[in-house]
Structure 1
Amino acid sequence: MKEATNPTESTERMRVYASAALSPFFTSAANGCETAAQKSADSLLQDYRAATPKEIQLSAQIIAAGLATLACLSAASVAKHDSINEMLRLQREALKLHRVSDKATKMLEARKKQRTTNPKTLATAQTKWDEGTFQLAINQALDKFNDSNARVAAYMDSLRTNAQTARPDTSISE
């Protein structure tokens, strides 16, 4: 990715990029509307008040890991009907994602504190976007998010199917 000469332009470009990467987490809630999904992602990113590309990256990673954590916990709650081992596996995945989110949160807080108290001591590496780390974090979280949501959807479908087959036929035939 080519670096912009204006830091504000670079920061804004990275915010748009991060919002686009986060939009798949919001697509189903936005009824498939990509624009609404991206606006939702951008709104959450704005709440973090990130001022550097690295802060935006960390904010996006926190959001992705948090949403994936919730999805894993939802899937674990329905997995108990199938297998206790699967439920425990999903809970472990949720804990791993929570640790990733917690680590990114601590890094973000440290960078913000340093930026506000002594901005001249910030090294370029502390403000620069790390594409490899970003892609890995987002893709891992999205995989867990999608797998967990698919499990919950399958469970809900099975409940609907069971409810429909359990209903007696009340129609009168002539």
Structure 2
Amino acid sequence: MTTTTQPKASMHILKTSADPLVSQGARRATEETSGSAAPTTQPGADTEVVPRARRRQFSNADKRRILDAADRCTQPGEIGALLRREGVYSSSLSTWRRQREAADLAALAPQKRGPKPDPAAAEARQIAQLMRENERLKSQLDKAHLVIEVQKKVAALLGSPIDNTHDKS
């Protein structure tokens, strides 16, 4: 009977011990639990976060280098080997050729000389022009109203008054 009481007493001492390492070691020695020990992983590998796939991006220099190498290919199969070696699709090659031709044409296009117009200044000029036109039209309207008033007075003096229902005072 002493054998059964002895392990209980030692387990009770281990549970109440102030040193957590003693209890951890005893637990590992007696049973395997999932929370008893931290899993061993490499220091740089985080297993919970899956790395996201990123699209390859080629710089303009890389694109030009690959296009030049493709232009130098003369034998059948050389372009395919180049594409496999560089990890590029043939559609990318054709897109880059189109971009290169468009850039060459844009470089040869005539350029306007002088400073580029400022959009804010152009907007301010347009507002000033519209305000001048508005003032001119107001002046013309005032002159037209004056002429109409004179015509009404002349008609009243001659004895045939003009109807005022269309007057917009």
Q: Same fold (TM over 0.5)?
A: no
- Give the structure with the larger helix fraction: 1
TM-score (norm: length of structure 1): 0.21
Q: TM-score, normalised by structure 2?
A: 0.21
Higher Cα Rg, which structure:
2
